[in-house]
Amino acid sequence: MSEDKILLAHGSGGKLSHDLIKQIFLPQFNNPFLEPLDDSAKIINRHGSIAFTTDSYVVNPLFFPGGDIGKLAICGTVNDLSMIGATPFYLSLSLIVEEGFSINLLKQLVSSIHEIAEQAGVKIVTGDTKVVEHGAADQLFINTAGIGWIRPGINLSGINARPGDKILLSGYIGDHEMAVLSQREGFKFQGDLKSDCAPLNDLVEKMLNACSFIRCMRDPTRGGLATTLNEITRMSNVGMVIEEEKIPVRESVKGICELLGLDPLYLANEGKLIAISPPDDADQILEVMKSHPLATSAEIIGRVTEENPKRVILHTLIGGHRILDMLTGGQYPRIC
């Protein structure tokens, strides 16, 4: 990490992001609620368990195939609550708007936020708006916070993975980042490539109804599938073996990655989840996932191992293997 400057890569969700958290923030703020470093904090009181999360959104461009920054903000917050097994209920919405921003575009985004909040079954209950001078922000930034309730018997965390567990993925990876990138750069690719941006709370609820013993869920956003799997191995002190042939990637995404020199395993997603399950329950969970419209392409992509703790090993299509490390920089900045 640079001694005196923040780099764009510090916001990539990869190794530099984790270094920043561990070296700058955790020494000052560490406490039992923060320490697990899950997508949401679990706060336990005499009435039960509450999940609390917050996030900021700086995507460029603001509108892209399949979504916009408003939809992204609501889905991202709902999904962070869902990944700890909470039912999302209440969200805050704060906007930092650059002077000169179009009122009509703001109306479009607010309408999009309303629509996706209705779909996800959450309410915007508080918020704030600030306007800054022209040039002091890149059009519009959004910050959200969310609260949900965790029902008794649910215990999802990145610290729970155990050797022998199965690793499930809900579907195609890389769609979101490629959709944003193609819109930003004006690339014309064959196919109807759209962001996978979607609220996952209904899918998660059905999975937990089928098996309340799921160990862990994570949505592979910044840093992609490979980085998220690495996070879980480090949190649980386990290894993982992943089968490349089982990872769903669209041919259009593969083609763009080959053209641009990108790796789809590190691409951001906004409507996918990883689940770590006891081995005996994995097939039943997979069946439930495949019956849901957001996970029809779900697969069991690997297993948790006792060997090679804190490492992810990929069995490749050609029969070899390679170590999947965390994203060390940023494949492309400002995706989410």
The type of residue at 307 is E
Separation of alpha carbons 93 and 217, rounded Å: 25
Quote the DSSP letter at residue 183: H
Please state, for a pLDDT cut of 90, what percent of the chain lies above it. 80
Whether the Cβ atoms of residue 250 and residue 258 lie closer than 8 Å to each other:
no
Q: From the CB of residue 256, how many other CB atoms can be counted at a distance below 10 Å?
A: 22
Angle in degrees, 0-180, between the axes of helices 69-82 and 201-210, rounded to the nearest 10:
20
Average pLDDT over residues 180-207: 87
Domain regions of the chain by residue span: 8-150, 166-324
Composition of the chain by helix, strand, coil, percent to 5: 35, 25, 40
Nearest to 204 by CA among 86, 41, 44: 86
Separation of alpha carbons 52 and 31, rounded Å: 15
**In the prediction, which pLDDT does 77 show?**
98
Averaged pLDDT of the chain: 93
> 123 forms bridges with which residues in the sheet?
90
- Report in angstroms the alpha-carbon separations of 259 from 97, 225, 253: 35, 20, 10
Residue 158 tokens read as 């990145």
Give 77-136 pLDDT, tens digit per residue.
999 999 999 999 999 999 999 999 999 999 999 999 999 999 999 999 999 999 999 999
Higher-confidence position of 257 and 79 = 79
Rounded to two decimals, the pTM is 0.94
Give 96-109 pLDDT, tens digit per residue.
999 999 999 999 99
Nearest to 194 by CA among 179, 204, 184, 215: 179
Which alpha helices (DSSP H) does the chain contain, by range? 15-20, 26-29, 69-82, 103-120, 175-185, 201-210, 224-236, 251-260, 282-290
Nearest to 10 by CA among 331, 290, 330: 330
pLDDT at 13 over 70: yes
> For residue 334, what pLDDT band results from cuts at 50, 70 and 90?
low
Give 320-332 pLDDT, tens digit per residue.
999 999 887 766 5
**In the prediction, which pLDDT does 267 show?**
95
Cβ-count burial of 90 within 10 angstroms (0-12 exposed, 13-18 middle, 19+ buried)? middle
Give 24-53 pLDDT, tens digit per residue.
999 999 999 998 889 999 998 777 799 999
pLDDT at 286 over 70: yes
Give 198-228 pLDDT, tens digit per residue.
999 999 999 999 999 999 999 999 999 999 9
Higher-confidence position of 175 and 4 = 175
> For residue 289, what pLDDT band results from cuts at 50, 70 and 90?
very high
CATH superfamily label, 166-324:
PurM-like C-terminal domain (3.90.650.10)
Whether the Cβ atoms of residue 247 and residue 225 lie closer than 8 Å to each other:
yes
Average pLDDT over residues 286-310: 98
Q: Which of 8-22, 58-72, 198-212 has the lowest mean pLDDT?
A: 8-22
**In the prediction, which pLDDT does 330 show?**
65
**In the prediction, which pLDDT does 332 show?**
58
Which CATH code is given to the segment(s) 8-150? 3.30.1330.10
Separation of alpha carbons 231 and 214, rounded Å: 17
> 129 forms bridges with which residues in the sheet?
95
> For residue 10, what pLDDT band results from cuts at 50, 70 and 90?
confident
Cβ-count burial of 176 within 10 angstroms (0-12 exposed, 13-18 middle, 19+ buried)? buried
Nearest to 293 by CA among 179, 175, 217, 202: 202
